[in-house]
Amino acid sequence: MTAIGAVDIGGTKIAVGIVDGDGHLLTRVEAASREAEAYGDGLILITKMLRESMRETGAVITGIGIGSTGPVDPFTGLFGDLDFLPQWSGENLVVDLERAFHLPVALETMPMQRRFAESAWGAGRNKSHLLYVTIGTGIGGGIILGGQLYRGVDGAHPEIGHQVIDTAGPPCSCGFSGCWESLAAGPAMVRWMESQPEYVAGGELTAKRICEFARSGDALAQQTIARETCYLGIGLANLVNLFTPDAIILSGSVMKSAELFLDGIRNVMRQGCRFVPLERAELMLASLGEDANLIGAARVWHERFTREGKYVCPST
């Protein structure tokens, strides 16, 4: 069986798996990130988990794809300053795994690996003009145009969460006030609800709890949901007006309660997308769940290399 080794490096755990050519995760093994605090220990751990996964599945891997939280350079393979693994700064897992396995290795940031997974093997399959939007602690996303990931100068990804929606809105670390993330990410829901005079404190408030309160009939929580729906719809309408996609995939922790938002989002978008073919933009939810990171790490390899194993420049 021919497959790709997949490595997912996160703040609390490192996961390794084997993904077949159809995007199916064949096996998964995890270890706590604290076991890899020293880079040398991490390299040994990842190498061991990959070899064990290959033995378990009987797979012969043709390459390795890596997705990582934090600043990484997909062009050079270098790790930046990772808060959760500070000793990895300046190290190059791509080079070291290539040396260990004598196979081509590709690296991408964690958000991009999810986008690759959904566009190729998930909800966005067969869509050539695709927006992937994740709404959770922040708002981020990726843009697929003509079947290719859009990158800007120096390979930078657009910061769609920092489009300005309301200049009178709350300040954001990006330098502006009233950007989409400051108005519609999960923490923004919490800040707004807590700021209302009728709010009565009762334990830690989260976006998840707000959604639970709204389902149970709490009027202030339902107001918060309505406000969130409006801002999500405006931001998505802006993206549709700019990129005229054939699909928008929504993911992230806030979208775990998508049934509270989707109808309202569609209504808002219809108000502001009168001059573009909005009816062609299918609004859908990410479909790969908890396996998306490992499946996406494997897809990173496919996106980077051709079937013949020749390198494809990430900027093309």
Q: What is the pLDDT along the chain (316 residues), one digit of tens a residue?
A: 679 999 999 888 999 999 999 999 999 999 999 999 999 999 999 999 999 999 999 999 999 999 998 788 888 999 998 888 999 999 999 999 999 999 999 999 877 888 889 988 999 888 999 999 989 888 988 899 988 888 888 777 788 999 999 999 999 988 999 999 999 999 999 999 999 999 998 889 999 999 999 999 999 999 999 999 999 999 999 999 999 999 999 998 899 999 999 999 999 999 999 999 999 999 999 999 888 899 999 999 998 885 434 444 333 3
Q: How far is CA 253 from CA 134, 156, 157, 239, 243, in A?
A: 8, 25, 21, 21, 25
Looking up tokens 């145009």, which residue turns up?
Answer: 145
Q: Rounded distance, CA 249 to CA 111, Å?
A: 13
Q: Rounded distance, CA 52 to CA 190, Å?
A: 43
Looking up tokens 């996609």, which residue turns up?
Answer: 245
Query: Tokens representing 274?
Result: 């009168």
The answer to whether the beta carbons of residues 83 and 37 sit under 8 Å apart is no
3-state secondary structure of 17: strand
C-alpha R_g of the chain? 21
Q: Most distant CA pair in the chain: distance in Å?
A: 63
